[in-house]
Chain A
Amino acid sequence: MVWDAPEGRGSAAPGGCRADTGPVIGAAFGVILGSAQAGDEAAFARIFRDAQPALLRYLRVITPEAEDVAGDTWLQVAAGLAGFRGGEKGFRAWLFTIARHRAADAGRSRARRPAVPLADSGAAEHVVSPDSADLALEAVSARAVVALIAALPRDQAEIIMLRVVADLDVGEVARIVGKTPGAVRVAAHRGLRRLAGLTQRAGVTQ
């Protein structure tokens, strides 16, 4: 699959206005990608380390089998990497699109399997809200925030994760989730307002 990657905000970081140092390789991505496509294992490891935390956090919001789905996703990425064309933004859009499809596959497979007790399925971690003490810590853990976002309606949570964690713009997110850009924007705003309310109730204050 060939992705025409719209390069804009993000890797090139125009203006340097980012509030944090997101998992972005930057200008070196093209070289690293080319090396990985030529079979350079270290280059592939670099891409993996850069994208895996964001991928796993996104998957923890949309599926209880995040680790397994992440493994399937990287398997497909490794198989299709030679045919990928695009920049870092395009790669992330490709990566998260694959992850979304694999999560949907896992959901269908899970639906066909007989039900297992929640305590044994590993899904408990997915549905439990974060502890207030965790959120009140000065350094809020990503895992606690992921659990908080997972309490939002599914579409809002996914769109927030794709916008923030995957660092994709509205158009890319709209293409991935199959909604219009306007619907994506509205869902993201509603999710953030609801998240603000959850945060206040959980006691996350400065």
Chain B
Amino acid sequence: MSGRDALHGEMPGFAFPGRPHDEPLLDMILERRPVPPGAPPEMHDLARILAALTGPAEPGELAGEAAALRAFRRLASPAGARSAALRALRRWRSRRPARGRPRLATALIVAVVGLGGTATAYAGVLPAPVQEMAHVTLDAPAPHHRGQHPPAVRGARPDGRPRLRPASPRGPREGRAGGTAQAPGRVRVPRLGHGSPQRGHGAARCCAHDPSPNQNPPGRGRGDPGRSAPKAACCPDTAS
């Protein structure tokens, strides 16, 4: 920092070259107080120049008065304020549903689909693939394959009944065509994020139409190889 950049308060008593102690005079000019007669001439010139800034309006400077008054009439009068408030209210009312509408619609769709879909799934009237999905995910009854039980695959329940792997939509047709049980590699089971599809999610619910007091709650005993049993008689048509 050079001497010219320093404030007088930072270096008191130091005579800055080319800069007189003019702050009091400059403050007087800024506050539009009369400059003392003994002040330097440039200070008088400065005061005269700045005095021109506070003079009366020059031509054209009040040209916007009509527009300002129109705005005042529209916005500041009681009637104008009332209509402006109504306009703001209308804007608010028109914006508010627009903001909430997608969320509300989504919530309604989820609720309707969730409740209706669950109820329909428990009624067992959904198409087989969808019913299968509901069976696995919502503990709904397994789909009926035209009067047949779903094909059984590996695994068995602790009570000795077999664990059943849900069949894919193509299962019964393939079964009819081939006359044999499905190959394990062809079976599709939706993953739920845990366990292995080879273990047969929801297998304990396969025979939900045949409720048994010994039936395990969903998910229990899943993946326990010691409890597995041969494919058995719950769904005899698919046991090989």
A interface residue numbers (CB < 8 A to B):
9, 17-23, 36-37, 39, 41, 44-45, 48-49, 52-54, 56-57, 67, 70-71, 74-75, 78-79, 81-82, 135, 139-146, 148-149, 160-161, 163-165, 167, 185-186, 188-189, 192-193, 195-196, 199-200, 204-206
Contact = CB atoms under 8 A, between A and B. Distances in A.
A195 B49 contact: yes
Contact of A196 (B46, B54, B72, B75): B46
Given A82-B76, A142-B55, A74 B45 contact: no
Contact of B44 (A36, A189, A206): A206
Contacts of B81: 82
B72 A143 contact: no
A39 B76 contact: yes
Contact of B48 (A17, A45, A140, A192): A140
A44 B76 contact: yes
Contacts of B44: 206
A39 B69 contact: no
B47 interface: yes
Given A17-B34, A45-B65, A78-B72, A205 B49 contact: no
Given A19-B51, A74-B71, A52 B31 contact: no
Nearest to A163: B30
A23 B54 contact: yes
A23 B53 CA distance: 10
Contacts of A192: 26, 29-30, 46
The 6 A-B residue pairs with the shortest CB-CB distance in the complex, in nearest-first order: A74-B68, A53-B57, A78-B72, A140-B52, A39-B77, A22-B54
Contacts of A22: 32, 54
A164 B76 contact: no
B61 A53 contact: yes
29 contacts: A17-B33, A18-B32, A19-B32, A19-B47, A20-B32, A20-B55, A22-B32, A37-B76, A39-B76, A48-B69, A67-B64, A71-B68, A74-B64, A74-B68, A75-B71, A78-B75, A78-B76, A141-B58, A161-B53, A163-B31, A164-B53, A164-B54, A165-B53, A192-B26, A192-B46, A195-B49, A199-B46, A200-B45, A204-B48
B-side interface mostly: helix
Given A53-B56, A67-B63, A74-B67, 13 more contacts: A44-B72, A81-B72, A139-B52, A146-B53, A148-B49, A160-B30, A161-B53, A163-B30, A164-B50, A164-B54, A165-B53, A167-B32, A199-B42
Contacts of A39: 76-78
A70 B64 contact: yes
A149 B53 CA distance: 10
A70 B65 CA distance: 11
A37 B51 CA distance: 32
Contacts, number: 152
Interface string B11-33: 00000000100110011011111
A-side interface mostly: helix
A37 B43 CA distance: 42
B54 A54 contact: yes
A98 to B, nearest CB: 13
Interface in B134-180: none
B66 to A, nearest CB: 10
A52 B74 CA distance: 19
Given A39-B76, A79-B75, A160-B30, A49 B49 contact: no
B54 A20 contact: yes
Contacts of A78: 68, 71-72, 74-76
Contacts of A167: 32, 54
B49 A204 contact: yes
Contacts of B71: 74-75, 78-79
